[in-house]
């Protein structure tokens, strides 16, 4: 268990689990292979983790299938499934400091964020879905004739769940909550950059009392372990969060088995600030909406549209805020920005910073690496950004803000919609009409009005257009994990 020292620095946690979870047993990979997981703040190897691939996924899928079709899980009362989720949430709370420290170690996110955001949101999500377990009902249907017709909402079966590295434990909760509340079983693959918190969650799930085979975890790489999940005939569904390119690959690979697919993908979310907004709040929202989690958020407000009349003042103040961010050891409670997750992401972001300058935007602050160990990048703000520049079109997934100027509401709407993405958007204004007009006109799955990144387990989240398929969270998230069955009973002679 980590604890804060007097100086406000948390200690790195012990690594308890590095294996593959199949049934209720931890084992090495069938191949015996391992891969390294790296601390992005120091570039040091944290540990070696079992590298699962096709053979391990096959074992996991069989265990999950068996648990789905027979055994205690398949016969368990719905309310008892909910109790297990509540127990798991309690165990997370008891081990909150350790889980948060694992997240900081493996991902690089500031410990303050992990403790105040990732963990509480994940725990809340499991509790929210625990409440649904015994409230998943069908309908009675008034059909013609002497028949009694009703529907049942049954679990889909074995769910493959493939998650990214930006919110590792939160993604576990978003995926496990609805899948388990509805009675499915799981084969999960955490991201190769951040397997550790997911593995610890596997231990806690067994401690909570989930029966063997309900949750199986296969750490490994995407093209091997991930692809094996997508292609496995015993797996009924794949829920994926990650990049659009990988989603396209998954869709193609899933076609042979016609798996149910849900995707939560990238974005280039417009954050629109009108001159009549509360500028203090809008500046805070712009900073948080872009720089939170080192800019590694699929819903980052990465196209910041600012109305001409306040553009100059806004830029000056937002740059000052960017310069106040505290980069450093993510285990220090005072740190507000940690490193990017790995070298690939670091290089990609530095490439975008380079292209922003080359394409004619003005780098108002930042733009450089910080230090020579760890993947730290200065909070960066580009002004004079135009719609066709790559920093205004492509997802950067880093601490790089692009500010664009606008003068008319209709112009802001059409430019906001001029993208293949549609995950989120925000508007800052004191005019309720403008706010609702924007909320109705922007083609995105979530619109925040005078706020940013407000998430709640009860509020659906997901993308329009190439930002996703299906919704997570809320009642809508249950639909991804149930099949609808119609039963017609002859009541006649
Ligand atoms: P990023 O570029 O942010 O790392 P990815 O989409 O590559 O996003 O990764 C998200 C998750 O998808 C990770 O767990 C990764 O291992 C997995 N993944 C990558 N490629 C594939 C694939 N071909 N099939 C299944 N999963 C994959």
Taking only the tens place, the pLDDT of each residue in 287-326 is 999 999 999 999 999 999 999 999 999 999 999 999 999 9
Q: Is 303 exposed, middle or buried (0-12, 13-18, 19+ CB in 10 A)?
A: buried
Per-residue confidence (pLDDT) for residue 493, from 0 to 100: 83
For residue 362, what are the β-bridge partners? 383
pLDDT digits (tens, 9 = 90+) for 340-355: 999 999 999 999 999 9
Q: Is the CB of 243 under 6 A from ligand 1?
A: yes
Q: Is the CB of 194 under 6 A from ligand 1?
A: no
Quote the CA–CA distance of 157 and 40 in Å, as a whole number. 37
Residue 322: phi, psi to the nearest 5?
Answer: -60, -40
Residue of 298, 307, 378, 472 with catalytic role: 298
Strands 237-241, 260-264: pairing is parallel
Average pLDDT over residues 5-21: 88
Contact predicate 264/463, CB 8 Å: yes
Q: Which among 62, 61, 60 has a CA at the least distance from the CA of 50?
A: 60
Active-site annotation holds for 298: yes
Q: CB within 8 A of 432, min separation 6: which ones?
A: none
Q: Which residues of 374-403 are buried (b: 16+ CB within 10 A; e: fewer)?
A: bbbbbbbbbbbbeeebebbebbbbbbbbbb
Q: Is the CB of 396 under 6 A from ligand 1?
A: no
Shortest-distance Cα residue to atom 14 of ligand 1: 191
Quote the CA–CA distance of 136 and 119 in Å, as a whole number. 26
DSSP string over 353-365: HHHHHHTT-EEEE
- Whether residue 433 is predicted with pLDDT greater than 90 in this model: the reply is yes
Helix axes 168-181, 96-107, angle to 10 degrees: 120
Per-residue confidence (pLDDT) for residue 1, from 0 to 100: 37
Q: Is the CB of 223 under 6 A from ligand 1?
A: yes
pLDDT digits (tens, 9 = 90+) for 200-234: 999 999 999 999 999 999 999 999 999 999 999 99
Q: Which secondary structure element, helix H or strand E, spans residue 20, and what is its range?
A: strand 20-22
Per-residue confidence (pLDDT) for residue 2, from 0 to 100: 43
Helix axes 196-208, 168-181, angle to 10 degrees: 40
- For ligand 1, the distance from its centroid to the CA atom of residue 13, given in whole angstroms, is 26
- For ligand 1, the distance from its centroid to the CA atom of residue 230, given in whole angstroms, is 11
Q: CB within 8 A of 448, min separation 6: which ones?
A: 424, 425, 426, 427, 454
The single-letter DSSP state of residue 14 is P
Across the chain, what does the average pLDDT equal? 97
Q: CB within 8 A of 99, min separation 6: which ones?
A: 92, 114, 119, 169, 197, 200, 201
- For ligand 1, the distance from its centroid to the CA atom of residue 252, given in whole angstroms, is 14
Average pLDDT over residues 60-86: 97
Q: Is the CB of 381 under 6 A from ligand 1?
A: no
Shortest-distance Cα residue to atom 25 of ligand 1: 226
Quote the CA–CA distance of 225 and 274 in Å, as a whole number. 47
The torsion angle over the Cα atoms of residues 45, 46, 52 and 57, rounded to 10 degrees, is -140
The torsion angle over the Cα atoms of residues 160, 166, 170 and 176, rounded to 10 degrees, is 0
Per-residue confidence (pLDDT) for residue 472, from 0 to 100: 98
pLDDT digits (tens, 9 = 90+) for 258-279: 999 999 999 999 999 999 999 9
Both tokens of residue 91?
A: 């165990």
pLDDT > 70 in the chain, percent: 99
Shortest-distance Cα residue to atom 11 of ligand 1: 164
Q: Which secondary structure element, helix H or strand E, spans residue 350, and what is its range?
A: helix 343-358
Q: Is the CB of 52 under 6 A from ligand 1?
A: no
Quote the CA–CA distance of 254 and 227 in Å, as a whole number. 9
Contact predicate 31/224, CB 8 Å: no
| Dihedral sign of CA atoms 108, 112, 113, 114 in order | positive
Shortest-distance Cα residue to atom 19 of ligand 1: 222
Which residue in this structure is represented by tokens 């596997």?
A: 202
Number of the ligand 1 atom closest to the C-alpha atom of 227: 24
Please, which pLDDT band fits residue 426 given cuts at 50, 70 and 90?
A: very high
- For ligand 1, the distance from its centroid to the CA atom of residue 242, given in whole angstroms, is 6
- Whether residue 6 is predicted with pLDDT greater than 60 in this model: the reply is no
Q: Is the CB of 395 under 6 A from ligand 1?
A: no
- Whether residue 7 is predicted with pLDDT greater than 80 in this model: the reply is no
Pocket test for ligand 1, best of 49, 222, 230, 241 (most atoms within 8 A of CB): 222
Q: Is the CB of 112 under 6 A from ligand 1?
A: no
Which residue in this structure is represented by tokens 């750490």?
A: 219
Average pLDDT over residues 153-174: 98
For residue 25, what are the β-bridge partners? 22
Q: Is the CB of 195 under 6 A from ligand 1?
A: no
Number of the ligand 1 atom closest to the C-alpha atom of 229: 25
Contact predicate 357/132, CB 8 Å: no
Contact predicate 10/2, CB 8 Å: yes
Quote the CA–CA distance of 389 and 380 in Å, as a whole number. 16
Per-residue confidence (pLDDT) for residue 329, from 0 to 100: 97
pTM higher than the cut 0.85: yes
Which residue in this structure is represented by tokens 């769940």?
A: 161
Active-site annotation holds for 264: yes
- Alpha-helix residue ranges (DSSP H) falling in 45-144: 54-69, 72-75, 78-94, 96-107, 111-113, 119-132
- Alpha-helix residue ranges (DSSP H) falling in 133-195: 168-181
Task: Classify 373 as helix, strand or coil.
Answer: coil
Pocket test for ligand 1, best of 164, 172, 197 (most atoms within 8 A of CB): 164
Shortest-distance Cα residue to atom 17 of ligand 1: 222
Average pLDDT over residues 402-431: 98
Average pLDDT over residues 59-76: 97
Q: Which among 274, 271, 276, 272 has a CA at the least distance from the CA of 290?
A: 271
pLDDT digits (tens, 9 = 90+) for 91-113: 999 999 999 999 999 999 999 99
Q: Is the CB of 226 under 6 A from ligand 1?
A: yes
Q: Which secondary structure element, helix H or strand E, spans residue 476, and what is its range?
A: helix 476-479
């Amino acid at each position: 268990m980590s604890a804060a020292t007097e100086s406000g620095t948390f200690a790195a946690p012990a690594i308890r689990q590095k294996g593959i979870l199949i049934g209720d047993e931890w084992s090495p990979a069938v191949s015996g292979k391992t891969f390294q997981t790296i601390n992005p703040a120091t570039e040091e190897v944290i540990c070696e983790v079992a590298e699962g691939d096709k053979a391990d996924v096959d074992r996991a899928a069989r265990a999950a299938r068996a648990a789905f079709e027979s055994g205690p899980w398949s016969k368990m009362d719905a309310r008892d499934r909910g109790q297990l989720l509540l127990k798991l949430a309690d165990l997370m709370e008891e081990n909150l400091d350790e889980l948060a420290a694992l997240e900081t170690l493996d991902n690089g996110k500031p410990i303050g964020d992990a403790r105040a955001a990732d963990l509480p949101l994940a725990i809340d999500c499991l509790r929210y879905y625990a409440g649904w377990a015994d409230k998943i009902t069908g309908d009675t249907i008034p059909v013609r004739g002497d028949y009694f017709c009703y529907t049942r909402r049954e679990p889909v079966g074995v769910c493959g769940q493939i998650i990214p590295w930006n919110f590792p434990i939160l993604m576990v909760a978003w995926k496990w909550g609805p899948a388990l509340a509805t009675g499915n079983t799981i084969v999960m693959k955490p991201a190769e950059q951040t397997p550790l918190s997911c593995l610890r969650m596997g231990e806690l799930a067994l401690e909570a009392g989930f029966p063997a085979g309900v949750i199986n975890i296969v750490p490994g790489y995407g093209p091997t372990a991930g692809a094996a999940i997508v292609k496995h005939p015993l797996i009924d569904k794949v829920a994926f969060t990650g990049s659009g390119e990988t989603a396209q690959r998954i869709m193609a690979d899933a076609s042979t088995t016609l798996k149910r697919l849900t995707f939560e993908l990238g974005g280039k979310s417009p954050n629109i600030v009108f001159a009549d907004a509360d500028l203090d709040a809008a500046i805070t929202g712009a900073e948080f909406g872009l720089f939170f989690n080192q800019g590694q958020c699929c819903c980052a407000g990465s196209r910041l549209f600012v109305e001409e009349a306040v553009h100059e003042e806004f830029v000056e103040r937002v740059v000052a805020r960017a310069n106040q961010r505290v980069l450093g050891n993510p285990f220090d409670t005072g740190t507000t920005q940690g490193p990017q997750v790995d070298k690939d992401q670091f290089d990609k972001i530095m490439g975008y910073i380079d292209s922003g300058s080359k394409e004619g935007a003005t780098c108002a602050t930042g733009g450089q690496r910080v230090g020579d160990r760890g993947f730290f990048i200065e909070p960066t703000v580009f002004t004079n950004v135009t719609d066709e520049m790559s920093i205004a079109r492509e997802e950067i997934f880093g601490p790089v803000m692009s500010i664009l100027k606008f003068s008319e509401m209709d112009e802001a709407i059409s430019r906001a919609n001029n993208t293949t993405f549609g995950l989120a958007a925000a508007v800052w204004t004191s005019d309720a009409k403008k706010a609702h007009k924007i909320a109705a006109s922007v083609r995105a799955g979530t619109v925040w009005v005078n706020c940013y990144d407000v998430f709640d387990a009860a509020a659906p989240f997901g993308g329009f257009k190439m930002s996703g398929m299906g919704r997570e969270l809320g009642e809508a998230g249950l639909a991804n994990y149930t099949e609808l069955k119609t039963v017609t009973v002859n009541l006649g002679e």
